[in-house]
């Protein structure tokens, strides 16, 4: 054997030996790290949805919030934009991200996929696959079923996959990319047995539901995916989420709003929740969802009390299952079923550029997560979960030791008791009643339990935490004006045709033509009108009807905008129908079709159409109806401004810009600006605009659409009872997204270029830069609020209010204070029947002029008990300045 070959074999054997003695294993109770069972609390942070400059702070806040693990997907189409061409820089520097997690002292759960869904354009499938599949006609794909299935699966691993050895190309691509990621992690020493932070990996993503529909071929594919993962010898356990028949040694896991019902498919596997959904995604045209932290904490505590040992907070699922099925029924040529991808995000982030999937997924991927889109703490969600994590960790020795003994305490109340080998006793007291408080007797003591809540007792005596009693600060964020802009404009040429334009008979599917290189495709045809047409004299203009698969459409007749229509999340299809003004002779009908993100989940992506598919008809002529569907159409991919790269400094300098035109459709705007002072997160207020895209210094901020007002039901949000994505919504009647995150790291001190393409005709003078800061801070704490400070000693701390402004800001005003029975919520408090008249005094004394302060919730502090025998609360609203 040659020396080089011998050296290779020696290294390979060493790697195998090291992995074989893996420091991460599992048993039925938990993941085992270095011989120790662990209760692991995790949070999703998607590295491309923020910028590298934000990563250290996000990871540190995850650690400060009591997490052990950072979970992330690996974004295939970002890392391999074309076959064999890899990119691991900037926002896609995966190795740097993982090393930062290690430096912070946390573990990593690496979800390689490579299909991940995640409300990302085409679900993270390799981008080049789209071009391959679109290079063949629909009939070719149907006729050549083997090749059809390869291309289909290359677009999405969550598609029908037959293990035909002659057409196994997609699987080869998937295996190649997965192997590349694993090899990269090994070469960088990032698996735990190498001293790195990676303790878990994931292959595929929520493939199980497709097996119900596809049967044995899909099951064979899942088994193949599991086998290639295990063969990579990572030395850490692999998981498959929502995969009930995941083969040994792979762990099947749960995703959902609640997972206390879940058990793994084998008794020797731990109970793991890979996606605890913090809320729901934001979509254009729908209300913004929120999940009360009381319910989220209840779901997590309920899972732990049932024996769960791994919880990961993820953002939000894309579309509810029933809605997915509805969409499929409407949109797919072939009958197929849908799987939803949902998780609980700890930091959601931003869908920069054109990365948002859907269609109609918004640019903001905030997800109502504990750390908001801008990297700021969302309070009280972050703080209340931090306290939950502390309480769980206090109980860890008993939780990992054995199974709970469950005892009924009432009709809807129960106790789950764990005991360790050393005699430690831990109890979870649950009240499942959705309406009423309960008073229960447990272990010789009486305890009050709010409805729909769990209390945690790390010694079976002392309540240190209740999921429904939120004592943490409530922060109300505000957007402060930071500057306006001086604009110039450039009109998009509606009838401009480049050398790449082409003509053909009939209508073509949009993504088939654009290959997703742009959101825009022009469909242009010409209509001859005779001099004797009656409508020319009677004024009854003909009716143009255009039917489209989506997602938005502008109709121009002889260069004039005639109408705009668009679909929605539930049904992206649309129809334009309107009277059009034509003249004798040749008339030009130009239709600009616009995509708003590609599907990120489901089967048969190649059948999820976009663009004008017809019929296109003209009614009211002498001949009656004229069908334009099968006449010659000219196609222009993209906008002239895109070809000129007007979003870049060099491209924007190549044309002459004029004075800004207000409310002019298809208009480019540019402005130069200096970076605002300070370090607060920045955003653009786009409320005066309609729909379009934004770039700063050549980098894509994303799609904006404040003109699409949210339609739905908004109202009072009650944490009690099962949560779903429509339970707690806001923004009804307003823009689904008004503000668009601008990373400070993308800015230069001076001379920054802002470019906007406006489709509808908004008013750019209303655009402003804003800073995101904390406005009001509130707290609402009862006399008997549980506390973990010195809970097991005589110095047990009674309930206390803690207030804190952003770094560098101080409390300047006490807007409201009351100790008694106050009413309302943060921003709208009022005194109740019971009120201590010296309620303000202690807050003025302790808090004014301070960045942070504390006030104990006991009657003496407020000048005495204003209503003996009544349970009282201290409520305060302060202003940071």
Contact 863, 872 (CB under 8 A): no
**Is the model more confident about 608 or about 723?**
723
Global model pTM greater than 0.95: no
| Of 231-235, 247-251, 495-499, 740-744, the least confident | 495-499
By CB atoms closer than 10 A (0-12, 13-18, 19+), residue 401 is middle
Q: Is the pLDDT reported for residue 622 higher than 50?
A: yes
User: Using one digit for the tens of pLDDT, what is the confidence trace for 347-370?
Assistant: 889 999 998 987 999 999 999 999
User: Using one digit for the tens of pLDDT, what is the confidence trace for 189-206?
Assistant: 999 999 999 999 999 988
pLDDT at 606: 63
**Is the model more confident about 219 or about 564?**
564
Per DSSP, the residues of 426-452 read EEEEEE--SS--EEEEETTEEEEE-SS
Where does residue 341 fall: left (phi above 0), alpha (psi -120 to 50 degrees), or beta otherwise? beta
Query: Hey, which residues does 317 pair with through a beta bridge?
Result: none
For the chain, give the number of residues: 881
Contact 477, 376 (CB under 8 A): yes
User: Using one digit for the tens of pLDDT, what is the confidence trace for 674-711?
Assistant: 999 999 999 999 999 999 999 999 999 999 999 999 99
| Of 13-17, 246-250, 498-502, 789-793, the least confident | 13-17
Q: Is the pLDDT reported for residue 603 higher than 70?
A: no
Residues 450-484: b if buried by 16+ CB within 10 A, e if exposed:
bbbbbbbbbbbebbbbbbbbbbbbbbeeebeebee
Per DSSP, the residues of 239-265 read EEET-TTPPTTSEEEEEES--TT---S
pLDDT at 598: 81
User: Using one digit for the tens of pLDDT, what is the confidence trace for 20-57?
Assistant: 455 899 999 999 999 999 999 999 999 999 999 999 99
- Read off the pLDDT band of 662 (50, 70, 90): confident
Q: Is the pLDDT reported for residue 9 higher than 90?
A: no
Name the pairing type of β-strands 238-241 and 251-256. parallel
Nearest Cα to 311, choosing from 655, 13, 38?
38
pLDDT at 22: 59
- Tell me what percent of the chain is helix, strand and coil, each rounded to the nearest 5: 25, 30, 45
CATH topology agreement for domains 24-133+169-379 and 774-880: no
Distance CA 54, CA 75 (A): 18
User: Which residue stretches of 493-628 are H helix?
Assistant: 510-514, 535-538
Sign of the alpha-carbon dihedral angle for 276, 218, 139, 333: negative
Nearest Cα to 386, choosing from 832, 95, 62?
62
Per DSSP, the residues of 607-670 read GS--SEEEEEEEEEETTEEEE-TTSEEEEEES-HHHHTTTTSHHHHTTS--BS--TT-SSEEEE
pLDDT at 787: 87
Residue 327, SS3 per DSSP: helix
**Is the model more confident about 140 or about 378?**
378
Name the pairing type of β-strands 852-856 and 520-529. unpaired
| Of 216-230, 390-404, 413-427, 457-471, the least confident | 216-230
Helix axes 216-231, 169-187, angle to 10 degrees: 30
Distance CA 797, CA 431 (A): 25
Residues 6+ apart with CB under 8 A from 146: 162, 164, 166, 167
pLDDT at 318: 36
Residue at token pair 């030009």: 588
Assigned CATH topology for domain 24-133+169-379: TIM Barrel (3.20.20)
Cα radius of gyration (the chain): 29
The predicted model gives 816-843 an average pLDDT of 97
Sign of the alpha-carbon dihedral angle for 240, 241, 243, 248: positive
pLDDT at 217: 86
The phi, psi pair for 535, rounded to 5°, reads -65, -20
Contact 558, 588 (CB under 8 A): yes
Residues above pLDDT 70, as percent of the chain: 87
**Is the model more confident about 346 or about 98?**
98
Q: H helices then E strands: how many in the chain?
A: 19, 44
By CB atoms closer than 10 A (0-12, 13-18, 19+), residue 521 is buried
Residue at token pair 């009280």: 380
The predicted model gives 580-592 an average pLDDT of 97
The predicted model gives 249-278 an average pLDDT of 96
Question: Would you call the peptide bond into 551 cis, given omega within 30 degrees of 0 as the criterion?
Answer: yes
Q: Give the number of other Cβ atoms within 10 Å of residue 639's Cβ.
A: 24
Nearest Cα to 843, choosing from 805, 863, 871, 813?
813
The predicted model gives 15-19 an average pLDDT of 40
Sign of the alpha-carbon dihedral angle for 177, 178, 179, 181: positive
Residue at token pair 């590349």: 180
Contact 274, 118 (CB under 8 A): no
Q: Which residues does the annotation mark as catalytic?
A: 206, 275
Contact 338, 259 (CB under 8 A): no
Q: Is the pLDDT reported for residue 790 higher than 80?
A: no
Residues above pLDDT 90, as percent of the chain: 77
Distance CA 22, CA 848 (A): 55
The predicted model gives 805-832 an average pLDDT of 95
The phi, psi pair for 668, rounded to 5°, reads -95, 140
Domain edges within the chain: 24-133+169-379, 478-489+643-766, 493-633, 774-880
Distance CA 210, CA 529 (A): 52
pLDDT at 145: 23
pLDDT at 150: 29
Residue at token pair 């296109």: 616
pLDDT at 242: 92
Q: Is the pLDDT reported for residue 798 higher than 70?
A: yes
Assigned CATH topology for domain 478-489+643-766: Jelly Rolls (2.60.120)
Sign of the alpha-carbon dihedral angle for 783, 787, 792, 793: negative
Q: Is the pLDDT reported for residue 92 higher than 50?
A: yes
Sign of the alpha-carbon dihedral angle for 506, 510, 515, 520: positive
Instruction: Output the 3-class SS for 27-45.
Output: CCCCEEECCEEECEEEEEE
- Write out the two tokens for 293: 């932290």
- Write out the two tokens for 490: 């450039």
pLDDT at 170: 73
Q: Is the pLDDT reported for residue 828 higher than 80?
A: yes
Distance CA 440, CA 415 (A): 10
User: Using one digit for the tens of pLDDT, what is the confidence trace for 549-577?
Assistant: 999 999 999 999 999 999 999 899 999 99
Q: Is the pLDDT reported for residue 61 higher than 60?
A: yes
| Of 430-444, 486-500, 643-657, the least confident | 486-500
Question: Would you call the peptide bond into 114 cis, given omega within 30 degrees of 0 as the criterion?
Answer: yes
User: Using one digit for the tens of pLDDT, what is the confidence trace for 503-549?
Assistant: 999 999 999 899 889 999 999 999 999 999 999 999 999 999 999 99
**Is the model more confident about 161 or about 518?**
518
Contact 427, 416 (CB under 8 A): yes
Residues 525-547: b if buried by 16+ CB within 10 A, e if exposed:
bebebeeebebeeeeeebebbbb
CATH numeric code, 493-633: 2.60.120.260
The chain-wide mean pLDDT, for the chain, equals: 88
Contact 68, 38 (CB under 8 A): yes
- Read off the pLDDT band of 495 (50, 70, 90): confident
Residue 363, SS3 per DSSP: coil
By CB atoms closer than 10 A (0-12, 13-18, 19+), residue 6 is exposed
Sign of the alpha-carbon dihedral angle for 416, 420, 426, 428: negative
Give all strands of the β-sheet with 31-33 in edge-to-edge order: 24-26, 31-33, 36-38
Contact 195, 189 (CB under 8 A): yes
Q: Is the pLDDT reported for residue 338 higher than 70?
A: no
Contact 486, 475 (CB under 8 A): no
Q: Give the number of other Cβ atoms within 10 Å of residue 750's Cβ.
A: 9
Nearest Cα to 647, choosing from 568, 757, 744?
757
The phi, psi pair for 817, rounded to 5°, reads -155, 140
Assigned CATH topology for domain 774-880: Jelly Rolls (2.60.120)
pLDDT at 149: 26
């Amino acid at each position: 054997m040659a020396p080089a070959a011998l050296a290779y074999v020696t290294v390979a054997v060493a790697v195998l030996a090291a992995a074989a003695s893996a420091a991460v294993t599992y048993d039925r109770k938990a993941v085992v790290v270095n011989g120790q069972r662990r209760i692991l609390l995790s949070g999703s942070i998607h590295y491309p949805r923020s910028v590298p400059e934000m990563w250290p702070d996000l990871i540190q806040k995850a650690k400060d919030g009591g997490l052990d693990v950072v979970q992330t997907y690996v974004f295939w189409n970002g890392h391999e934009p074309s076959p064999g061409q890899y990119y691991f820089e900037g926002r896609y520097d995966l190795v740097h991200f993982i090393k930062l997690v290690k430096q912070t002292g946390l573990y990593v759960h690496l979800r390689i996929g490579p299909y991940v869904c995640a409300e990302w354009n085409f679900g993270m499938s390799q981008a080049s696959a789209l071009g391959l599949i679109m290079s063949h006609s629909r009939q070719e794909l149907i006729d050549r079923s083997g090749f059809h299935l390869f291309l289909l699966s290359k677009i999405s691993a969550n598609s029908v996959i037959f293990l035909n050895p002659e057409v196994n190309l997609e699987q080869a691509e998937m295996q190649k990319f997965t192997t590349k990621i694993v090899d990269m992690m090994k070469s960088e020493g990032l698996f735990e047995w190498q001293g790195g932070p990676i303790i878990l990996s994931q292959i595929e993503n929520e493939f199980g539901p497709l097996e119900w529909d596809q049967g044995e071929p899909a099951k064979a594919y899942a088994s193949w995916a599991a086998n290639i993962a295990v063969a990579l010898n990572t030395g850490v356990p692999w998981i498959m989420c929502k995969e009930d028949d995941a083969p040994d040694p792979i762990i099947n896991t749960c995703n959902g709003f609640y997972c206390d019902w879940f058990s793994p498919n084998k008794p020797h596997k731990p109970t793991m929740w890979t996606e605890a959904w913090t809320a729901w995604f934001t979509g254009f045209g729908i209300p913004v969802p929120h999940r009360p932290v009381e319910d989220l904490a209840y779901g997590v505590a309920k899972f732990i009390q049932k024996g769960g040992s791994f919880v990961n907070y993820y953002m939000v699922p894309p579309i509810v299952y029933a809605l997915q099925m509805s969409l499929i029924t409407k949109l797919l040529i072939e009958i197929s079923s849908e799987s939803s991808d949902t998780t609980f995000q700890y930091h959601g982030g931003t869908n920069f550029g054109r990365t948002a999937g859907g269609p109609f997924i918004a640019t903001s991927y905030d997800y109502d997560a504990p750390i908001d889109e801008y990297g700021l703490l969302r309070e009280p969600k972050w703080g209340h979960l931090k306290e939950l994590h502390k309480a769980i960790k206090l109980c860890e020795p008993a939780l990992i030791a054995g199974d709970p003994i469950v005892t009924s305490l009432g009709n809807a109340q129960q106790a789950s008791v764990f005991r360790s080998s050393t005699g430690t006793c831990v109890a979870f007291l649950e009240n499942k009643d959705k309406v009423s408080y309960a008073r229960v007797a447990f272990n010789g003591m009486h305890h009050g339990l709010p409805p729909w809540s769990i209390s945690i007792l790390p010694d079976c005596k002392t309540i240190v935490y209740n999921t429904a009693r939120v004592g943490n600060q409530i922060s109300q964020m505000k957007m402060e004006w930071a500057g306006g802009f001086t604009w110039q404009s450039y009109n998009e040429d509606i009838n401009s045709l480049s050398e790449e334009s082409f003509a053909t008979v009939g209508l073509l599917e949009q993504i088939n033509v654009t290959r997703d290189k742009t959101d825009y495709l022009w469909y242009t045809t010409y209509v001859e009108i005779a001099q004797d047409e009656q409508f020319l004299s009677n004024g009854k203009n003909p009716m143009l009807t255009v039917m489209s698969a989506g997602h938005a459409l502008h109709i121009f007749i002889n260069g004039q905008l005639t109408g705009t229509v668009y679909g929605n999340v539930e049904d992206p299809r649309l129809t334009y129908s309107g009277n059009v003004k034509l003249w004798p002779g040749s008339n030009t009908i130009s239709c600009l079709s616009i995509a708003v993100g590609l599907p990120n989940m489901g089967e048969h992506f190649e059948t999820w159409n976009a663009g004008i598919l017809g019929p296109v008809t003209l009614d009211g002529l002498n001949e009656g109806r004229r069908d334009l569907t099968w006449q010659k159409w000219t196609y222009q991919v993209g906008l002239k401004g895109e070809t000129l790269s007007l979003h870049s400094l060099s491209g924007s300098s190549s044309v002459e810009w004029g004075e800004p035109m207000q409310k002019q459709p298809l208009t480019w705007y540019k402005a130069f600006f200096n970076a605002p002072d300070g370090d607060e997160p920045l955003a653009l207020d786009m409320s005066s605009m309609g729909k379009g895209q934004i770039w700063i210094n050549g980098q894509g901020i994303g799609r904006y659409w404040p003109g699409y007002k949210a339609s739905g039901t908004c109202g009072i949000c009650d944490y009690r009872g099962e949560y779903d994505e429509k339970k707690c919504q806001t923004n009804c009647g307003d823009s689904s997204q008004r503000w668009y995150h601008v990373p400070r790291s993308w800015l230069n001190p001076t001379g920054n270029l802002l470019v906007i393409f406006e489709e509808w005709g908004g008013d750019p003078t209303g655009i402003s830069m804003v800073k995101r800061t904390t406005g009001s801070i509130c707290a609402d704490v009862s006399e008997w609020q549980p506390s973990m400070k010195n809970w097991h000693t005589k110095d047990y701390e009674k309930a206390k209010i803690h207030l804190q402004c952003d770094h560098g800001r101080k409390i300047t005003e006490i807007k409201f204070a009351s100790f008694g029975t106050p009413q309302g919520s943060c921003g709208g408090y009022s005194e109740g029947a019971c009120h201590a008249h010296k309620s303000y005094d202690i807050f003025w004394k302790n808090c004014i002029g301070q960045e942070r302060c504390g006030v104990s919730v006991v009657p003496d502090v407020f000048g005495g008990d204003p209503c003996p025998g009544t349970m009282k609360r201290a409520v305060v609203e302060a202003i940071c300045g």
